Amino acid sequence: MRTQVVIIGSGPSGLLLGQLLTGAGIDNVILDRVSKDYILGRVRAGVLEEGTVGLMDRAKAGARMHAEGLPHDGFSLAFDGRDHRIDLYGLTGGKRVMVYGQTELTRDLMEQRALTGAPSIYAAANVAPHDFDGQNPYVTYERDGINQRIDCDFIAGCDGFHGISRKSVPEKAIRTFEKVYPFGWLGILADVAPVSHELIYANHPRGFALCSMRSQTRSRYYLQCALDEKLEDWTDQRFWDELRRRLPAHHAEALVTGASFEKSIAPLRSFVSEPMRFGRLFLVGDAAHIVPPTGAKGLNLAASDVHYLFEGLLEHYQDRSNAGVDAYSAHALARVWKAVRFSWWMTTMLHRFPDTGDFDQKIQEAELDYLTHSRAAATALAENYVGLPF
């Protein structure tokens, strides 16, 4: 088989890139080692920047997002027992975010891909990119016990942090930067009404908490926890009791509880690999970078990578120019590092660290106070939260 672009990974970034390429008449094949049902069973982030929303529209997959998604004009910072609202819309001149689950976004892209007839191959074992440092790259995989090969012009590695794409790069050709945080997030999903119509980021002496949602009837809540916590020790009742302790009283009283249907503990890390291009192989999204979820940047960073790569490939095929693909890594990383900085800053400002002393605690309190009393500081927060321009 031959195609123009092989995309390894059928998560949001791979599907989004595939549909943008298909819409532009650029042939592509998506490969994934797992099944479609497995991908749709993963519950992930759900706060979309306007740039991500625009790319979904450009991929002709945004109709249900606009019908069912929840536009948010602001969010609350809760500390000292009070709410302090950050007016995203007012501070950024009319920009907002969209709350829409990553699983639903993935489903929309899958359905749009099926409508266009573009090929996706699931349950592909032993996927591997080859010869991407030359002019004739190809990808091999195994399906139903038969070895297969796809020749191509370019390979897009959209297969996540643990995928084969970054692992296939020679060690001496790549540099990685990492910060591991000394806590995790205990998260639950429950079919209960959200405690607030906007997200709440809570800084509390007992630790950070986040109140989010996936819809008007499905809530997503998180608690900062120690890395050695055991999931089985956290009953639903214990979780709800602890969440109430970390929220302002009026939110604690309004909290609607119920049985959770998903519960997990996720470690937090910041990770970046440089560069993001190796010959004719491009790393996209989590294959190249990870951010703590505090700033809601993971999915959106993947979308901005897709934007830069798509524009570069479009320029290559339509204008016979390699300027865009040559600039992909530099353009993507410039935005990546700004988002990494923002996510690190939000994480350090809102969480309690095990080694925080009295001085550090006073600095954190002063930061929150300044942020909620200075329009300039709040504007900087808001413009990063809604998403820096591509």
Residue 248 has a CB neighbour count (10 Å cut-off) of 17
Given a contact cutoff of 8 angstroms between Cβ atoms, the answer to whether 304 and 335 are in contact is yes
Beta-carbon contacts of 363 under 8 Å, excluding residues fewer than 6 positions away, are none
Strand partners, 99: 47, 70
Given a contact cutoff of 8 angstroms between Cβ atoms, the answer to whether 105 and 56 are in contact is yes
Task: Give the residue ranges of DSSP H helices in 247-297.
Answer: 249-254
Tokens of 313: 């490939």
Rounded-to-integer distance, Cα 324 and Cα 312, Å: 4
Block residue for tokens 């009837």 = 217
Nearest C-alpha neighbor of 64 from the set 16, 23, 30, 112: 112
Q: Residues of 261-285 as b/e, b for ≥16 C-beta within 10 angstroms? A: eebebeebebbbbbbbbbebbbbbb
DSSP 231: G
Given a contact cutoff of 8 angstroms between Cβ atoms, the answer to whether 108 and 116 are in contact is no
Helix (H, G, I), strand (E, B) or coil at 370: helix
Tokens of 146: 């038969």
Task: Give the residue ranges of DSSP H helices in the chain.
Answer: 12-23, 36-40, 50-58, 63-68, 88-91, 102-116, 164-167, 236-246, 249-254, 298-319, 323-350, 358-373, 375-386
Given a contact cutoff of 8 angstroms between Cβ atoms, the answer to whether 283 and 276 are in contact is yes
Catalytic residues, by residue number, are 72, 201, 293, 297, 385
Mutual angle of helices 323-350 and 298-319, in 10-degree steps = 170
Nearest C-alpha neighbor of 353 from the set 218, 195, 180, 219: 180
